[in-house]
Chain A
Amino acid sequence: MAKDTPITAKSDSTGDDGRLVRLYDHFRREWQIYLMLLPTIIWFIVFLYKPMYGLQIAFKDYSIFKGVANSPWVGWEHFQTLFSNDSFIRAVKNTITISFYNLLFGFPAPIILALMFNEILHASYKRTAQTIVYLPHFISSVIIAGIVITAFSPTVGVINAVMGWFGLDSIYFLTQPDWFRPIFVGTGIWQEAGFGSIVFLAAIAGVNPSLYESAVVDGANRWQMMWKITIPSILPTILIMLIIRIGNVMEVSFELVILLYQPATYETADVVNTWVYRQGLQSGQYDLAAAAGLFNAFVAFVLVMTANTLSRRYSRTSLW
């Protein structure tokens, strides 16, 4: 007969010691995964965390001869300069306005595209259409800008040519401040909506097919299925993408603005990043540019935190 043995916890596996043992065991067991993670961690440290050291020049009278450490502190002076600078205030307003338009028109575009692709039943037609709309994403922004500049050219542009057929006068669109934002937002949609739709198509592919079959038996048509099943099912993905997008509100596509704007359109086209580029790199005011960049990052941080909190509270979906 076996004697009854009382069950007791091992003393070395409880408390802090136990946690350390478990951690050690975990690393021993999973070291390959951490090894694979290492390059990414190094990349983050070298390119994202180490440069943060230089952010202090936003609060210093920076001199390249004295270096970051030896330049004298000036407190909030650069921020006061920024907010008393009309061109910076204009750049902030332009950034927010362009981002708002991007969010309003550019964010739904890939969702609508994905929903449309999902409704196409003919497989080869669907593949061809997808390839065509994905293509601009793989073209360099310089080429894209070149195409746009040519298309809107007053002499050889196709847009003005079409307008000419209807007896309209040609317009030099890219020198007109009123036309910059529509052209910029439209170009962004043309370039990225197709590729952006992949995320939503993947989300749609993950919807349980029996939900649609059940709805068919219940009598739903395709339109009802899209509104009552597809969109609610991909809503968590939509919200996650929206949060990420809101986090990037201050990051209007720098390259494309630089390539498309000109002094005549600064009024509506100059954004924080292009302002920082001109002030920081071209005029050598690195400290002021660092202050503007820090302000940009702070606003983005507040926005993404707010969006994430609201999303978690109202839809149970969040980034973290």
Chain B
Amino acid sequence: MVNKLIKFSVKITLTLVLAFTASFSFSQEGEKLFKANCASCHNPVKNATGPKMQGVLQKWTDAGEEELIYQWVSNPSKLYNSGKSKMAKAIWDWSPTAMTPQGHLSREEVESIFTYVDNYAPPVAAVGGGSLAVNDKLSSDANSSDYWWWIISFILVFVLFAILGVRRELTAAVAAKEGKEFDPTSTFATSAQQWLLKNWFVTMLLIVGVALFSGVELFGRAYQLGVYEDYMPSQPVAYSHKLHAGKMGIECKYCHHSAEKSKHAGIPSVNVCMNCHAIVHEGPEYGTEEIDKLHKAAGYNKNKQAYNMDEFGDRIEEPIVWNKAHNLPDHVYFSHAQHVHSNTANIDCRQCHGPVQTYTLGRVSTIDEVNAYAATDEGMERGLIQLTKPLLTMGWCIECHNKKEIDLTSSGYYEEIHKRIKLRADVNNKIFEDDKVTVKELGGWECAKCHY
């Protein structure tokens, strides 16, 4: 009897364990199958190219078509054409893309996929994304503190003059009381003049001081003219480089793709945004607000997953007018292609633009930021060098042309130059004198290189 009981309980435990492992492996199997066959179009909890899959079995069951869903998976167009299924028609009308038939999956495999999808819980978003809007404030802070300095100094000057006026009145009153002579026509200006004439040495010091100060100030201000460091204009869409290039690691040249072919790095047109945002409708910071602007610009209807067309078959678009952050005057020629293409100089974007992957909107970095980034491991890996002059000034250009070393075997462009240098012994000797080749030695300091 006891033996029987033990045997029975062992059997039960064994069955339970088996059932448990089976169901576990079942859902694992489902995950594998889902990722291999469905995930490129379907997301369990979001609409993508295909509709979201969580609860889909329930929906078909509610519509009384529990059996038909397996037919749909193995051959959607056959089921749709047969006209038996309302659900099939609804999905067919919803998505412009037809589903790829999955006839190679057995019924059990499809069931395991549904089990996996229905039990799927989206991973919790990583904490510590930080505020994306940090450096939006930088420039406005600096401006407002300037403004307060002026108000405070104005009040101080006012108080100073009020005190001086009171002192003068008092002096006059004292003079009148003591019966001394006090010239009533003497103003503050004349008394100050008298004092200055009496203390001529102090006067001279003052004049020299003021002249020196204003000269230095004038020189400094003139040097700031045409220097755009820290310039960050507002933009029509709150795009974040920090999210796209920093967190998700999208290369600069994915969006600014004309950098390799043109003198302009290019402001990406909306179709580049739509490569992803055709199915990404919500961002982490602003929700759907900012991405809706993209959809409006591209003429995209996110509910229908299709573009709005006019009667000529063209998309109804409204270009986004971005503000340009990096301005160079017309009298200097600069080409991105020459600097960043791998067949030419192959310079990393961050040498001139700084750590843009940490900024939100496009912004001109300051030279200190670029130097700080160049000193980090990542910066050194990218071959950045440190410079001293402000960004986008001529001093900065020629400083880099003088400092940056060139490896003449690094690209076809330099190999061709090397070949031509070797034809002239005197030039060759002069350039290779110090075992170091710079852009300056290859003509990078010629005026007509950039000004013509």
Say whether A and B bind each other.
Answer: no
